[in-house]
Amino acid sequence: MFESADVLRRQQTQRLRDEALGLHDRTHDSVLEYPPRVPPEALQVKISRYPAGVTTLALNSRLSIQFLSFFDIFYDWFTAATTTPGPHESMTELGHDILGAKGLSFTERLLAVAVQAYINWVERARRKWTNFSSEHAVEVQIGVLKKSGRPGTDAQADDTRDAFLWSCLMIRDTTVLESGARAWADEQLRELGVDAKGDLELQAKLDGLFFARPGSKHAEYAEGFLMHETPLG
C-alpha cells in the first residue's frame, strides 16, 4: 500500500537523522524505554521543537522513546502539510507500530489515538478517501482506553490533564458523528464540564500547547492548504 511506503520512507529518514545525533533507534524494541529526568542533550534538541505540551510531557518522562519516534515523524509531516502546498504523503498507517506496542501508558495511547484520528481526518478532507483499517484502529484503541480504568486519574492529574482534555477535543472534532470514539470523547468532556461550544479560552490554550484542531481559529491557515491541495490520482 502506498500509505505504508510513505511511512517507511519517513521512518528511514528519521533513523538516519537520529544516528547523526547519536540517538539509537528504539522503534521496534519490545520493551518501552523512557528518557531520564535529564535527557541526553541530543534528545533535548530533538524534542525542543515539539509543541510545548508534548515537550513538557517528554521532559517529565511521561513519553517513551518509541512514542517520541512516532510523534517526531508525525510532526515533521504535520509541519510540512500545514505550511506548504501539497501534495503530501499519506500517513494513515503511521500509528500501526506505536498503537501495537505493549505497555503504553494511558496518556501515550490517548495522544497516539488523537494523532491518528487527526491523520484520518486529513485523509478524508484532502483525498476524499477513507482508510477503513486506520479508522477501525481508532475505534479499537478507544475500547482499550475504556477498559483501562484510567480516564478519571489522567483527567485530574496536574501533568496529564491538559493532554487528556486536548486529546478528547481532537478525537471529538476528527471522528465521524456516529462513531464510538466520538461518543467516548464527548462523554469524557461532559464529565469534566467542557462544553462543545463553550470554554473557547481553554480550548485555545490547549491548541497552543499541542496543535490546532480542525475548525479552530488556529487551524484556518492550515486548513486552507489542506483543502486546496492538488488532487492525487
- Quick one: pLDDT at residue 199? 77
Residue 30 lies in a domain: yes
Domain that holds residue 62: 2-148+217-227
Q: Quick check: is 208 in a domain?
A: no
Total residue length of the chain? 233
Half-sphere exposure of 79 (CA within 13 A, CB side): 9
Q: Is 193 inside a domain boundary?
A: no
Q: Predicted confidence band at 142 (pLDDT cuts at 50, 70, 90)? A: very high
How many independent structural domains does the chain possess?
Answer: 1
Q: CA-CA distance, 67 to 147, in Å (whole number)?
A: 21
Is the N-terminal amide bond of 87 cis, ω within 30° of 0? yes
Does residue 56 carry a pLDDT above 70? yes
Helix axes 2-21, 65-83, angle to 10 degrees: 110
Q: Distance between CA atoms of 52 and 6, rounded to whole angstroms?
A: 27
* The amino acid at 57: L
Percent of the chain scoring above 90 in pLDDT: 42
CB atoms within 10 A of CB 153: 13
Q: Kindly state the cell numbers that stand for 110.
A: 490517548
35 occurs within a structural domain: yes
pLDDT of residue 229: 39
Mean per-residue pLDDT, 98-117: 94
* pTM (2 d.p.): 0.84
Tens of pLDDT, residues 167-185? 999 999 999 999 999 999 9
